[in-house]
């Protein structure tokens, strides 16, 4: 795979605030890349630099092997979904999308052809003639995503794309994005506070106070920074004394016993050694929430 985005020693300061403090990372073409951090951690600043909204102080940024110093050559290959919609609230959905297509130099035939794909995938037919401001939050978000993908970019940037959506609409949006990724080798950069979205990423970068504090696949990060648990629903009472003698942390609930281990191997070895004491169990891997808390000392959910 080739790097479609390459960032080297990027810095952006606002007075004494180090919004982006000497960060470096790359994104592979066709991947889903998740950028995690609290509000003010530096995620949006980095993205705004990538798309030319902000000027970097120093460092290098390349998109599709083109320096962001030549941003006009980069923007036609990028689609962006911001946290707040940039569409005209007084126009219909159809007119909003038509005028956005014109900005990308698309003729009417190409616009209609591309739009038809999204009408089918996201069930947009009934809202095309509706005024954008009259739509529900979920409908508005779907139209925003169509607006960003209408010109079939190489890179889609999603800044908290499913905030406020119900689970059904969130799944519909992600099914469409993933299908589009497979069909076009689309690269997706995602900022999110939904850990289930971070879990499906190919690679995750966690940023805190302008610095990268962890990077890797969700599985690698969980293996490195999060504990694993054995949940025992039926077990021999002798297990409790064994855990206490071995100083293994556990929590007793009404319906199960939760035993904490550093990693999967420790949990597996304990199960093998004491298999006769367990009747009904499951091994639960640590979550991305656990990873975030471990590397930053902060709870991502508290910042939502």
DSSP lists the bridge partners of residue 207 as 212
Of 171, 203, 172, the closest CA to residue 190 belongs to 203
Q: Flag whether 289 is in a domain.
A: no
Is residue 171 located within the same domain as residue 214?
Answer: yes
**Domains in the chain, number:** 2
Query: Across the chain, where does the E strand assignment appear?
Result: 3-14, 17-28, 32-36, 58-63, 66-67, 78-81, 155-159, 187-191, 203-208, 211-216, 228-235, 250-252, 257-261, 278-284
Task: Name the residue with higher pLDDT: 19 or 122.
Answer: 19
Is residue 185 located within the same domain as residue 238?
Answer: no
Is residue 94 located within the same domain as residue 19?
Answer: yes
CATH number of the domain encompassing residue 168: 3.40.50.300
Is residue 69 located within the same domain as residue 166?
Answer: yes
Is residue 134 located within the same domain as residue 79?
Answer: yes
Q: Which domain holds residue 173?
A: 3-221
Report strand pairing: 278-284 vs 257-261.
unpaired
Is residue 54 located within the same domain as residue 115?
Answer: yes
262 is written with which tokens?
């550093």
Is residue 113 located within the same domain as residue 17?
Answer: yes
Distance (Å) of CA 273 to CA 239, 265, 268: 12, 12, 9
CATH number of the domain encompassing residue 239: 3.30.70.260
**Which range, of 3-12, 103-112, 209-218, averages the lowest pLDDT?**
103-112
What confidence tens digit (pLDDT) does each residue in 130-155 have? 999 999 887 888 899 899 999 999 99
How many CA atoms within 13 Å lie on the side-chain side of 301? 8
Helix, strand, or coil here: 165? coil
| Integer Cα distance of 175 and 69 in angstroms | 34
Torsion 56-61-66-71 (CA) sign? negative
Query: Across 153-296, where does the E strand assignment appear?
Result: 155-159, 187-191, 203-208, 211-216, 228-235, 250-252, 257-261, 278-284
pTM score, whole prediction: 0.85
- Average pLDDT over every residue of 258-270: 90
Is residue 242 located within the same domain as residue 131?
Answer: no
| Integer Cα distance of 65 and 298 in angstroms | 35
Could you say which DSSP state residue 298 is in? S
| Integer Cα distance of 173 and 143 in angstroms | 10
- Average pLDDT over every residue of 227-242: 93
| Integer Cα distance of 64 and 76 in angstroms | 11
* pLDDT category of residue 197 using cuts at 50, 70 and 90: confident
168 is written with which tokens?
């059904």
Q: Flag whether 303 is in a domain.
A: no
The residues near 74 (Cβ < 8 Å, ≥ 6 apart) are 51, 52, 63, 64, 66, 68
Region for residue 260 given its phi and psi (left: phi exceeds 0; alpha: psi -120 to 50; beta: otherwise): beta
Q: Flag whether 291 is in a domain.
A: no
What confidence tens digit (pLDDT) does each residue in 62-115 have? 999 999 999 999 999 999 988 778 899 999 999 999 999 998 888 999 999 999
Is residue 126 located within the same domain as residue 235?
Answer: no
Q: Flag whether 304 is in a domain.
A: no
Is residue 204 located within the same domain as residue 239?
Answer: no
| Integer Cα distance of 288 and 194 in angstroms | 10
Residue 287 has pLDDT above 90, yes or no: no
Report strand pairing: 155-159 vs 187-191.
parallel
Is residue 114 located within the same domain as residue 259?
Answer: no
Is residue 267 located within the same domain as residue 194?
Answer: no
């Amino acid at each position: 795979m080739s790097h479609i985005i390459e960032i080297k020693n990027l810095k952006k300061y606002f007075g004494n605030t180090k919004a982006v403090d000497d960060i470096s990372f790359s994104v592979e073409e066709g991947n889903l890349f998740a950028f995690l951090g609290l509000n003010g951690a530096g995620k949006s600043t980095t993205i705004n630099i990538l798309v030319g909204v902000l000027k970097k102080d120093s460092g290098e940024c390349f998109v599709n092997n083109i320096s962001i110093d030549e941003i006009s050559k980069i923007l036609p290959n990028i689609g962006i979904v911001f946290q707040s919609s940039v569409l005209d609230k007084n126009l219909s959905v159809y007119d909003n999308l038509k005028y956005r297509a014109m900005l990308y130099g698309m003729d009417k035939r190409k616009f209609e052809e591309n739009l038809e794909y999204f009408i089918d995938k996201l069930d947009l037919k009934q809202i095309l003639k509706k005024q954008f401001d009259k739509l529900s939050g979920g409908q508005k978000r779907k139209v925003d995503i169509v607006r960003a993908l209408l010109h079939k970019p190489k890179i889609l940037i999603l800044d908290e794309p499913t905030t406020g959506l119900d689970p059904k609409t969130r799944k519909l949006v992600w099914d469409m994005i993933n299908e589009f990724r497979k069909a076009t080798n689309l690269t997706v950069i995602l900022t999110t506070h939904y850990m289930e979205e971070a879990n499906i990423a190919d690679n995750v970068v966690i940023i805190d106070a302008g610095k990268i504090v962890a990077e890797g696949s969700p599985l690698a990060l969980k293996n490195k920074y999060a504990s694993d648990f054995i949940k025992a629903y039926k077990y021999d009472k002798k297990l409790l004394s064994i855990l206490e003698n071995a100083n293994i942390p556990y929590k007793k609930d009404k319906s199960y016993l939760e035993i904490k281990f550093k990693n999967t191997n420790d949990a597996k070895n304990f199960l093998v050694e004491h298999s006769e004491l367990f009747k009904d169990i499951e091994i639960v891997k640590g979550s991305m929430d656990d990873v975030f808390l471990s590397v930053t000392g902060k709870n991502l959910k508290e910042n939502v």
